[in-house]
Amino acid sequence: METLTDGQVITLFDQLVSEGVIVYGPHTKHLVDAENYPIEFRICPALMKKPHTVGASNPTFNHTSKWGPGSDMFIPDLRLIICQINSTHDLALNLFCVDRPQLLMVTSDSYRRQHEPLDARDFAAMLHVLRRLEGWYFIFNCGEKGGCSRVHKHVQGLRGPPHAFEKLVQTSDGREEVPFKFFLKRFEKGFKAMEVAELLSAYNDMLARCKETLEVGDGELCPHNLVLWDDSIVVIPRRAGMWNGASANTGGMMGSVWVPEVAEVDKWLQLGPANVLRELGTPS
């Protein structure tokens, strides 16, 4: 991992796409203004092959290996794994991609679960990657209401910036408004210099605020989304993973909604994109 470069990741990605290991296809974009909140819909038919809900099966991959005895995540080819980080996580290429490329980081312990909050090991692994690959960000979909489709604990890496990140920054500064509530903190030291404990402390503080917002008691699950980008952490409390047929994960709440067909875009437009974001999160 010490010498890993973007070029190496892309070369491996292109090879596995050419061999049909990674599901990746062309997409079209549809841009929408949701009450002054920018949203892009990416319509990618290849996503039809991806399981979109917890427990959903996929005949194409059901016969392939999983990421350990407790995992529900497919690993049809071990070349997807780029490296192990800190003996706690595997860094890999995502099996289902819209971007070129996308990263996936799963816990080595296949019994860790997606509804669990992030811990110091998770943040240490993410910082390890962010300090070595420029221009990437991580997202975490905590629980089904947070938009996850697999229960083996994992985070995803994407090329930045998140589509609506600047709108959140402007809202945090009091210059703009967005349809849903979120918490944002920027670290002056930056991800390259800060300690894991500082990032974990900020996350736990935001998680406590999420619990207050959602009226969640101690010991209860607290569905939320997390973004690490540009030396900043964003946490979004979530009330639902789907509302009247429209769904979103962290990426969707950040303004980039990936769907397999136009009908799902039509559903969002019928409901009103800002209304969907308010119902999936909490109204601002």
Q: How far apart are CA 82 and CA 86, in angstroms?
A: 13
With cut-offs at 50, 70 and 90, classify the pLDDT of residue 52. Answer: very low
221 found inside a domain: yes
What pLDDT was estimated at residue 80? 97
**Which residues have a Cβ under 8 Å from the Cβ of 173 and sit 6 or more positions away?**
none
- For the chain, what is the total number of helices (H) and then of strands (E)? 7, 15
For 171-213, the pLDDT digits (tens) are 998 888 999 999 999 999 999 999 999 999 999 999 999 999 9
Give the number of other Cβ atoms within 10 Å of residue 87's Cβ.
Answer: 7
What pLDDT was estimated at residue 56? 47
What pLDDT was estimated at residue 280? 99
b/e map of 95-114 (b: 16 or more CB within 10 Å)?
bbbbbebbbbbbbbebebeb
| C-alpha dihedral (74, 23, 15, 87), degrees to nearest 10 | -30
251 found inside a domain: yes
1 found inside a domain: no
For 88-124, the pLDDT digits (tens) are 999 999 999 999 999 999 999 999 999 999 999 999 9
CATH number of 175's domain: 3.30.428.70
Total domains, the chain: 1
68 found inside a domain: yes
Q: How far apart are CA 91 and CA 8, in angstroms?
A: 14
Read off the pLDDT of each residue in 68-97 and give the average, rounded to a whole number.
Answer: 95
Asked if 210 contacts 112 with a C-beta cutoff of 8 angstroms, the reply is no
22: containing domain = 6-280
Task: Quote the tokens at residue 178.
Answer: 């967005």
DSSP 3-state assignment of 208? helix
Phi/psi of residue 61, nearest 5 degrees: -115, -5
Asked if 4 contacts 218 with a C-beta cutoff of 8 angstroms, the reply is no
Calculate the average pLDDT of the chain.
93
| Residue with tokens 């903190």, as numbered in its chain | 185
DSSP 3-state assignment of 18? helix
Task: Quote the tokens at residue 278.
Answer: 């308010």
| CA distances to 82, 97, 219 from 102, in Å | 12, 6, 33
Q: How far apart are CA 175 and CA 173, in angstroms?
A: 6
Does the pLDDT of residue 272 top 90, yes or no? yes
What is the value of pTM for the model shown?
A: 0.94
DSSP 3-state assignment of 24? strand
Give 52: exposed, middle or buried? Use CB within 10 Å, 0-12, 13-18, 19+.
middle
